[in-house]
Amino acid sequence: HKDLVYAVAWSHDGETFASGSADRSVILWTEQHEGTLKYRYSTQNCWLSLHNGFFFSSHSDAIQCLAFSPVTSILLSCAMGDFGLWSSDEKNVQKQRINGRCSSCAWNRDGSLFAIGTHDGFVHIKKAGNIVRLPLPYPLLSY
């Protein structure tokens, strides 16, 4: 990375971990500490070619949090105002804007839904294509 690392997460099989940075990049690492740049923001067209012929869109702001699905290789990454679902098995990226600055993210045990906490005091829960926005009594921070 070329800037501060804000987030790390292990894959469900324990063989890979991801790191996300203020430089808007995510690197996948092996247990042997070999890193592969997975995606980085491009100021020209926001797409970056990967080593296996996959193309992934990237975030336009610093990566705030990361979470691997507990049952698949899907990685949830959150930036200031959007989140992405990344998989090396697919060429398309599921990326979506979100209201509020992301501060934390997590999957449920069976990988059927995930939650994103935002600085404006809401938790956004995504299940089956829908996002439910739940207010909290105070802003959410995760360290």
User: What pLDDT sits at residue 44?
Assistant: 39
User: What pLDDT sits at residue 57?
Assistant: 42
Output Rg (C-alpha) for the chain, integer angstroms: 14
Question: Which two three-digit tokens encode residue 62?
Answer: 């610093």
Buried-state track 8-42, b at ≥16 Cβ within 10 A, e below 16: ebebeeeebbbbbbebbbbbbbeeeeeeeebbbbe
pTM, to two decimals: 0.78
User: What pLDDT sits at residue 140?
Assistant: 56
Q: Are 94 and 114 in contact (CB under 8 A)?
A: no
User: What pLDDT sits at residue 125?
Assistant: 94
Low-confidence ranges of the chain (pLDDT < 50): 41-57, 143
